[in-house]
Amino acid sequence: MSWDTRTLTEFLVDHQNHTGYQQVVRETHYDADSGLVTKTVDYSFGHDEITQTTREYDAQGNVTSEETLVFGHDGVWSKN
């Protein structure tokens, strides 16, 4: 098995979330060799629903794809 790229992932955590639990609000993926951002995932928390927005980037930093998923109480998701 061989690997073409290495990835570094950082997590931004809200330590004082209204739920009483620490929550990840953003994860950022970097190409570990070049330091360029390759993907971000943003999480939004509310009283009823949770959203997850994923953005992927090219080598120039332009967004190449974006998708938002909305999760309901039962864990079922729908595209927004």
Task: State the pLDDT at residue 3.
Answer: 64
> Number of folded domains in the chain?
1
pLDDT, one tens digit per residue, over 18-76 is 778 888 899 999 999 899 999 999 998 777 678 899 999 999 999 999 999 988 765 55
Q: Does 54 fall in a domain?
A: yes
Q: Does 1 fall in a domain?
A: no
Q: Does 61 fall in a domain?
A: yes
When comparing pLDDT for 51 and 79, which is higher? Answer: 51
CATH of the domain at 60: 2.40.128
Q: Are 5 and 31 in contact (CB under 8 A)?
A: yes
Give the pLDDT band of residue 77 (cuts 50, 70, 90).
Answer: low
Owning domain of residue 68: 7-79
Task: State the pLDDT at residue 46.
Answer: 72
User: Is residue 11 scored above 70 in pLDDT?
Assistant: yes
Q: Does 18 fall in a domain?
A: yes
